[in-house]
Each structure stands twice: as C-alpha cells, then as structure tokens.
Amino acid sequence: MNRCMSMTITMLLILILGTGCWDRKEINDIGLVMATGLDLADNGQIQATLQIALPASSSLSTGGGSKPGKFFLISAVGKNGLELEQKLQQKLSRTLFFSHRSVILIGEDLARKGINDILDVFNRNPRNRLKTYMLVVKGRKAADLLQVDYPYELAPAEALKEMEMLKGEGTIVTLRDFMIASATGGMYPTTGVLEPAAFHRPGEKTADRLFRINGTAIFKSAKLAGFLNNTETHEFLWFKHNKRTDKIAADMPDGQGNVGYLITSSNYKIDVDSRSDPLKFHIRLKAIGYLFENNTPLDVTDPKNLQVINKALEDHIKLDMQAFLRKIQTEYHTDIVGFGQELQRHNPKKWRALEEEWDQYFKAADVSVSVAVTISNTGAIGPPLQLKEKEIEK
C-alpha cells in the first residue's frame, strides 16, 4: 500500500468516525409534545395548551391520586406562535420537542373567530409534522378534552390518533390536507369534529369523561362556517379516500324492516354541463359490498327480493346525499366536494370567468345524483333463522 492510499484511508476513517448529529437532542433533555390545544383566551388572544408525555420514572400524579400520571399539561396565552412557544418553554425544564405531536385541537370559539394568526407557525418550523391530525372541539375548549384520562391509551392524543386512523368512521384531515384545500381554488377545507362523551366503569354510578369523533367542521376564509352532522359526514366521505369500509342502514318500504350493508369499495364521478345556466352537475355513485344484516322477512336467496333490498339501499343513499348537498349549497355556500375543481378541469375558461363569485354560482347550481349498489354477498343464510316458515317471504 503506497503512502497516498494510506493517507486517503486514514482521512476517510476520520470523517466516518468523527461524523455525528451536531444538533441531536438526548431523550433526557426533551419534553415530548403529544398534542396541542388552541383556544380563544378571555383577552381575545390565543391560549395554547400542550399535552406532554410524562416519563415513567416521574412520580407526578394526576388529580391528586396515587396512580402515576401518564401526561401533564402546560398552558400560556399570546398573540402568535412565537410568543406562545417562548412562554411555554419558560415553564418547562426540558426543550419542547414537537416532531412527535399527533394531533392539534382547535376550540370552537377560536375556530369561529379564525385561525390565520396561528397556522403559519405550524408550516414554517420544520420540526412540526404536516401529517399531524386537525380536529375542532365542538362546544368546548380544546384544553378541556386534553385533560381526559383516556382508559385505553397512554394519553388522549394517542387515542385520537387511533380514532382518526379508523377508515370510514369520520373526516380525516391532516395539517397538510387543510393547507392544500385552503390554497386550492374551488375548494374549502374541513376537519373532523371532537365532542365530549362519557363512559361508566363497572360498579360505579358516576360517569367518567370521554370524547368521540362525530361530524365535520367546514372552514371558509380560515373561519369556522358550520358543522355537518354524522349522517351528512358519511355522505361527504363518498368524495374522500376513506369511504372504503362505510356502513349503511336502510329502511325497507311498507314497514318491512331494515337492512345493514357494508361497503367494501366505492367510487364516484362528477359530470359537468358548463354550457347550461345555471350550471349542471351530475354525481354518479357506485358501491360494492355485502349484506351485513337482514331484519326483514325477505329470503335474500330469491333474486327478486334482492332487487327490492338493492333499490332500498340506493334510494336511502340518494336521499341522504341530496340532503347533504342542499346543506352545503344553500346553508353554508361552501364547495367542500370539489365541483369548482371539476369545472376548472372541464372548462378552464368558464372557471376563470366564475372563480371570483364561485360561492354564488355553486349555490345556484343544479346538482343531481344517481346511485348504483352491488350486493356481492348475502351471507351464509337466506331469511333470518328465527322466522317461522310461514313468516318468510319468497
């Protein structure tokens, strides 16, 4: 080995062994922020509450009890993100670490006032994850629900993360999704909705606090415009990627009972007639799934009976979809589905002419719906087993 090669190898070894994470933080030096709650303070500024994971070795207790706490909260009031972070850091002996934060909760009062003054800090700082989930707390402060001692998970933030990952159960929105929708023409952002609930422990009469994800919050110009209820939310999910496992319960005509249908795959298409006045849109919904429950006297092995159930499901979906569309068109005037985007793709020139007053054109648009449901499986039996032979309709 010549001298030049030896020196080269030596330099490479120095570079490899000497390389490290210059900005690394030891785990004992950081405070892991699991969730952030944002509320409107009494003075009109922003109140931020952080849910911070408590190390297992800590002796801190919750509520004065003897059981070791899983997390603790710190709170501060300020006019923007920088001021809030500075005040919060002054209350903690470890460096605030936001890269593991899984959820941001926004109190309803702050959401109605507007959240433009706080959004930028979440985007500009690279330590903030854009995959963090966003939820609006309906009727309460975000800080209230961050205090809930959730029984299954280590902290409420972990429970909320798991709830949001349940496909088909609600509106799933990350910080990134919210920003993209806000900046996209012909679209309004939405988030999931969190509200208080309760549960009972065995042998105890008093209920403990809990929460549930229920509905959708609609934003307009970074301000909360209103809410969709749970039924309307499930219609909204047709236009999202998390409709693959939705459940539908439909009543049969003439009081024949009801059926349960589990969607395993779905898709939609929006047809645009940009030459008409008002604009016309036609939504075509398609779903494939199986019969999950049959609370009717119908024998579903008979193709004619299956057609009756099929039509009942299609009619049910169509009516619910029409109610959802009426609400976003006539009450909120907010295009959260993306009709404006479809018009832009179909006729860019027409879209440019209508873009500035899209809310009014969307409100006046003629939107129709058609539904095609396929029942791929009816289960292992025909009629319900508890029925007598004479009660079964074949």
Per-domain residue ranges of the chain: 25-228, 230-394
In the predicted structure, residue 266 carries a pLDDT above the cut 80: yes
The residue that leads in pLDDT, 153 or 113, is 113
Per-residue confidence (pLDDT) for residue 22, from 0 to 100:
47
Could you tell me the strand order of the sheet in which 247-251 lies?
247-251, 258-273, 280-295, 366-377
The Cα–Cα gap between 28 and 45 comes to 33
pLDDT above 70: percentage of residues in the chain: 79
Per-residue confidence (pLDDT) for residue 63, from 0 to 100:
47
User: The dihedral of CA 45, 188, 175, 105: what is its sign?
Assistant: positive
Tell me whether residue 103 is exposed, middle or buried, using C-beta atoms within 10 angstroms of its C-beta: 0 to 12, 13 to 18, 19 or more: buried
Distances, alpha carbon 90 to alpha carbons 54, 70, 82, 101, in Å: 18, 22, 13, 19
The Cα–Cα gap between 180 and 98 comes to 21
Per-residue confidence (pLDDT) for residue 152, from 0 to 100:
65
The pLDDT tens digits of the residues spanning 50-85 come to 999 887 655 454 444 434 568 899 999 999 988 999
Mean pLDDT of 124-152: 85
What are the structure tokens assigned to 177, written together?
A: 């999704």
Mean pLDDT of 289-305: 87
Mean pLDDT of 252-278: 91
Mean pLDDT of 153-168: 70
What are the structure tokens assigned to 321, written together?
A: 């979809």
Per-residue confidence (pLDDT) for residue 76, from 0 to 100:
95
Per-residue confidence (pLDDT) for residue 66, from 0 to 100:
37
The Cα–Cα gap between 46 and 111 comes to 11
The pLDDT tens digits of the residues spanning 198-225 come to 655 665 555 556 788 889 999 998 999 9
In the predicted structure, residue 116 carries a pLDDT above the cut 90: no
The residue that leads in pLDDT, 184 or 227, is 227
* Superfamily of the domain at 230-394: Nutrient germinant receptor protein C, domain 3 (3.30.300.210)
- What is the CB neighbour count within 10 angstroms for residue 360? 11
DSSP 3-state helix, strand, coil percentages of the chain (rounded to 5)? 35, 30, 35
The Cα–Cα gap between 301 and 388 comes to 16
Per-residue confidence (pLDDT) for residue 15, from 0 to 100:
57
Per-residue confidence (pLDDT) for residue 297, from 0 to 100:
85
Mean confidence (pLDDT) of the chain = 84
The residue that leads in pLDDT, 220 or 167, is 220
Encode 156-187 in three state secondary structure. Answer: HHHHHHHHHCCCCCCCCCEHHHHHHHHHCCCC
Question: Do residues 101 and 89 make contact, with C-beta atoms less than 8 angstroms apart?
Answer: no
Per-residue confidence (pLDDT) for residue 151, from 0 to 100:
67
In the predicted structure, residue 143 carries a pLDDT above the cut 80: yes
Q: Hey, which of 30-34, 119-123, 250-254, 270-274 has the most confident mean pLDDT?
A: 270-274
The Cα–Cα gap between 306 and 299 comes to 8
* Length of the chain in terms of residues written: 394
Strands 46-53 and 71-78: antiparallel
The Cα–Cα gap between 174 and 178 comes to 6
Mean pLDDT of 268-279: 94
Query: Which amino acid belongs to residue 117?
Result: D
The residue that leads in pLDDT, 162 or 88, is 88
The Cα–Cα gap between 246 and 321 comes to 14
Mean pLDDT lowest among 69-83, 157-171, 198-212, 292-306: 198-212
